[in-house]
A and B are shown apart, each in its own frame.
Chain A
Amino acid sequence: MSSPLLVLRQIVKNYGGVRALRGVDFDLRAGEVHALLGENGAGKSTLIKIVTGAHSPDGGTITVVGQRVVDLTPATARALGIACIYQQPALFPDLTVAENLALRLDATNMHARIDWTARRARATSLLSRIGAAISPDTEVRALSMPEQQLVEIACALGSGARIVIMDEPTASLTQKEQRLLYAVVQDLRKNGVGVIYISHRLEEIFALADRVTVLRDGQSVGTHAMGDINEAGLIRLMVGREVAQIYPAAQSAPGASVLSIRGLGCKSSGVHDVSFDVRAGEIFGLGGLVGAGRTELARILFGLTPADSGQITLAGKILHLRSPQDAVAHGIAYVPEDRRRHGVVLDLPLAQNITMAVHRRLFPKTWLRFGAERVLTLNYIRDLAVKCAGPDAHGSSLSGGNQQKIALARWLATQPKLLILDEPTQGVDIGAKNEIHKIIRRLAQEGLAVILISSDLPEVIGMSDRIGVMAQGTLRTILPSGSDPHTVMAAALGTAA
C-alpha cells in the first residue's frame, strides 16, 4: 500500500459543553476509498468539517502527505488538494455551470479577463469525464438536485484534489446516476486519489470501499478492511453500547386511537404511502436516518406542506390541513427541529413566546391581557422548571434545554390532542435531556398522543411505546418498545438484518 495522504491523530472537538469528537484517529491512503460510518451525531460531519478547515479542532494533529498542518482554513485545505462534496450542493443558482466551476476553481483577481471558451471547454471535459450529460451553459437553478451534485463532483475533479470527501453523495441520485457516480469513484481511485466516503447504504459501502472506519459517540471504534467484516458486524459496531440511560417507563396502557393516517404522501417533499395510528397516552417514536422523511412527515401533519394523497383522521374527524392554523385549530402541536429559527423567537420575551400559539384562547377579544399572560407563563416556567430570569427574559438568554422547554410550553398551552416533537433533545445537555424525557413521559401519562422524532437511537428506543422506522420517504416497519437497537438500525439502513 502507498503512503498515507491524510493522517488524523487524537482529534478533539468540543461545542460548548458537548464533546463532539473525543480523540479520533483516522488515516487515508492514496488510491483507496475509505468509508466513514456511524449513527447521526456520531461525529462524522464534525470530522469532515475539521478536514475541510471549516472548523478548527481543539486538540490533535492533522498531517497531509507527511506534512503537519496547523491552522487549517477552507482556503489552505483547498490549496492542499482537499475537496468536499456536500449533500446539499452549495452552488450559485443564478449562474451557469461553467461559471460556477470557474468561480470555485480559479483564483482570480478583480480585473482578470474571463475566457469563456476555455471555461466552457473545461466544464464540458470535466462533466464528460464523470459522464454527466449537462450543458455547461445551463443555469444551475434549472438543474435537479442530483445534477447539481454531479457539478460539485466535477468541481472536485477540476480542482485536482488528492483527497475527495463525499458526504452521502447518492442520497438523492437515481439508480443510473448512482452507477455513474460509482464509475467516477473508481476512476478517482485509479488516479491515486483518496476518497473519504460517507454513506448510510451498507451495500454501497461493500461495493465501493476498501476500508471502513466506524465512529460512535465521537470516538473511532475500529477501522477494518472490507473483507474482514460483514453487515451484521458493522451494525454491531455502530450501535455497540447498551441503552445505558434510564428512561422513564410507561405506567399505564395507551387508550383509544387519536391519530390515524392512511397512505399519506406529498410529492414535493418526497413522502409517500405512510400509514400508522397513534393512541392516546402513547409515545410513537419515529426513527430513521437524516433525510428519511420524518421531518417532512411532521410538516405535512402540521399543515406546512399540505398532503396531496392519503387521509389524516384525528379523534375521529377527517382533516384537510392546508396551513398551520388549521392544524392548531384541530389540536395538533409541532415542536420543530430547528429551535433557534422556528421553535423560539429569540428576540422576544418568554411570555410572548409561550402565548404565541394561544392568542385566540388567551386573548379572545384580541386585547392583550398581561396579567393572564403572566400567570400562564409563570405556570409553565414552574411546571417545566425553566431556568430563566423571569417571564420578561428574552429567548436568547436561555440555554438550549431551557429554550426547548419554552418551545414545548408554547404548544402545551394550546392543550393539544397530538404533540409532535422533532428532535427535542438535540444539542441539549444531559441534565436537561433527562428532564425533557420525564416531561414527555408525563404528558403521555396524562393522555396526550405523542409522536417523537429522534435520531438518537437509545432515546427513540427508550422513550417510545412503539417505534416506526422510516427510510426513503416512507414508513418501513413498526417495532415494539424495547426493540433491539440492531433491528432498528437495520430497518433504518434498509437491510434485512
Chain B
Amino acid sequence: MKRYFRELSVVGTLLAVLLGLALFAPAFFSPQPLLSLVTREAPTLVVAAGMACIIITRQIDISVSSIFSVCSVCAGLLVARGWPLVLVLPASVGLGALFGAFNGFLVAVMRLPSIVVTLATMVTLRQGLNLIRQGEFVNLPDRVQWFGLSQTAGQLVLVGFALVLLVTLAWAMRHLAAGRYLYAVGTDAEAARLAGIRPQLVTLFVFVFIGSLTGLGAMMNLAQSPQVQPLTGNGLELKVIAAVVVGGVAISGGRGNLWGAFAGLLLLACVSPALTHLHIEAYWEKAVQGAIILLAVVADGLRSRQSNR
C-alpha cells in the first residue's frame, strides 16, 4: 500500500475528477463521446508506455513526436499505394525501431545526453518531413478507417488492443528479467554492470523499444481518420512525458510503473473535456496541464526531501 502510494494518489485524483464530473457535468459520461475520447488517447497510451520505460531507465526521448509523424505519413503513403495493412503495420513499427536505434546508438555508444540527441533528431525529422511533404495531407482509402468496421466496433478494437498491450507490458515489466533490468539500470547503472547486466545494451534496447511502440501508435492513429496530416504528432512528446511524470515515474530513473503512467494519461486527458463540461474555457487546458506537471514534480521533490531526512 505504502509502496504504491504515489500511483494510488494519482488514481485517487482521477476518481475525484470523475466524481466531480459526474456531479456537475453528467453529460461527460454519455457512452459515445467517452469512447471517442478514450480512442483518441489510445495511440498516446502506447507511446506513453514506451516513455515510461525510457524514463525508468533514466533517459528521455523527445523525438517521439517526430517519429510518430514520420511513421504516420509513411504508413499512410504505403496504404494509399494499396499495401495491405498486415504489411504496413510491421513497416511502420520497423521504421520507428530504426529511428529509435539511431537515438539509442548515439546515447548508449557515443555516450551523448539523451535530451540533446533526441532534440536534434526531433528537429531533423520534423523539418525533413515538412521539406518532403510540404504539409500535404495523405488521403487514405475507405477500407483503412476503423479497419473497415463500423465506427464503434473500430473504436472498441483500438481501445481493446491498447489495453491488452498495456496489460502485457505491465506484466512484462514486472515478470520478465528484461523489465527488471530497466529498473536496475535506471537506479544505478554501475551497480547493474557489476550485477552482470550490460547497461549500454539495455539503453539501446529501450530506445529501439520506444521507437517501435511509436510506430505502432502511429498505425493506431492512422485507423482513426480518413487522412493523415503531417503535423499529427506535434506536441506528443510533452503530453506523453507529462502523463508519465504525473503518473509517478521519477525523472531520476528506477521508479514508477506503467499503471501510474496510464492513470496520469487519463488524468491529463480528462482536463480538456472536464474544462468544457464545467464551462471553463478550453484555452486553459495547456496551463492546467503544465500546473499538474509542476504539482506532481514538486510533490515528488518534497517527498524525497522528507525521506532523505
Interface of A toward B, CB cutoff 8 Å? 74-75, 90-96, 99, 102-104, 106-114, 116, 137, 139, 141-142, 268
Please provide the chain B residues from 172 to 197 with a CB less than 8 Å away from any CB of chain A in the complex.
174-178, 180-181, 183-184, 186-188, 191-192, 194-197
- Write the nearest CB–CB distance from B53 to chain A, whole angstroms: 14
B205 contact set on A, CB distance < 8 A: 110
- Write the nearest CB–CB distance from B3 to chain A, whole angstroms: 6
A75 contact set on B, CB distance < 8 A: 196
Give complex CA distance A92, B307 in Å.
16
Contact A103 B255 (CB under 8 A): no
Contact A94 B187 (CB under 8 A): yes
Top 6 nearest A-B pairs (CB, nearest first) are A94-B254, A108-B177, A112-B177, A110-B178, A92-B187, A94-B255
Answer yes or no: B309 CB below 8 A from chain A CBs. Answer: yes
Give complex CA distance A75, B197 in Å.
12
Give complex CA distance A42, B1 in Å.
48
Give complex CA distance A92, B176 in Å.
18
Contact B194 A90 (CB under 8 A): yes
- Write the nearest CB–CB distance from A269 to chain B, whole angstroms: 12
Most chain B beta-carbon neighbours within 10 Å: one of A96, A102, A110, A116 = A110
Contact A137 B3 (CB under 8 A): yes
- Write the nearest CB–CB distance from B302 to chain A, whole angstroms: 16
9 A-B contacts, Cβ less than 8 Å apart? A95-B183, A103-B195, A110-B176, A111-B177, A113-B175, A114-B174, A114-B180, A116-B175, A268-B309
Question: Which size class do B's interface residues fall under?
Answer: 20 to 34
Contact B176 A112 (CB under 8 A): yes
- Write the nearest CB–CB distance from B164 to chain A, whole angstroms: 19
Contact A109 B196 (CB under 8 A): no
Contact (A99, B177) CB under 8 Å given A75-B196, A92-B187, A141-B307? no
Contact A139 B3 (CB under 8 A): yes
Contact (A92, B191) CB under 8 Å given A111-B177, A114-B180? yes
Majority secondary structure, B binding face: helix
B188 contact set on A, CB distance < 8 A: 92-93
A109 contact set on B, CB distance < 8 A: 177
- Write the nearest CB–CB distance from A326 to chain B, whole angstroms: 21
Give complex CA distance A113, B3 in Å.
23
Shortest Cβ distance from A90 into B: residue: B191
Query: Digit string of B298-309 for contact with A (CB within 8 Å is 1, else 0)?
Result: 000000000101
Give complex CA distance A92, B186 in Å.
10
Shortest Cβ distance from A74 into B: residue: B194
Contact (A110, B181) CB under 8 Å given A75-B196, A92-B188, A93-B187? yes
Give complex CA distance A74, B193 in Å.
11
B174 contact set on A, CB distance < 8 A: 114, 116
Contact (A95, B196) CB under 8 Å given A110-B177, A110-B181, A111-B177? no
- Write the nearest CB–CB distance from B172 to chain A, whole angstroms: 9
Give complex CA distance A112, B175 in Å.
9
- Write the nearest CB–CB distance from A89 to chain B, whole angstroms: 10
Give complex CA distance A103, B194 in Å.
10
Give complex CA distance A94, B257 in Å.
12
**Extra inter-chain contacts (5) besides given A90-B191, A137-B3, CB under 8 Å:** A91-B191, A94-B254, A95-B187, A103-B195, A112-B176
Contact A114 B183 (CB under 8 A): no
- Write the nearest CB–CB distance from B32 to chain A, whole angstroms: 40
Contact A107 B177 (CB under 8 A): no
A93 contact set on B, CB distance < 8 A: 187-188, 254
Contact (A114, B176) CB under 8 Å given A92-B187, A93-B187, A94-B183? yes
Give complex CA distance A113, B180 in Å.
11
The residue that A95 contacts in the complex, of B176, B184, B194, B197, with Cβ under 8 A, is B184
Contact (A92, B183) CB under 8 Å given A108-B177, A111-B176, A116-B175? yes
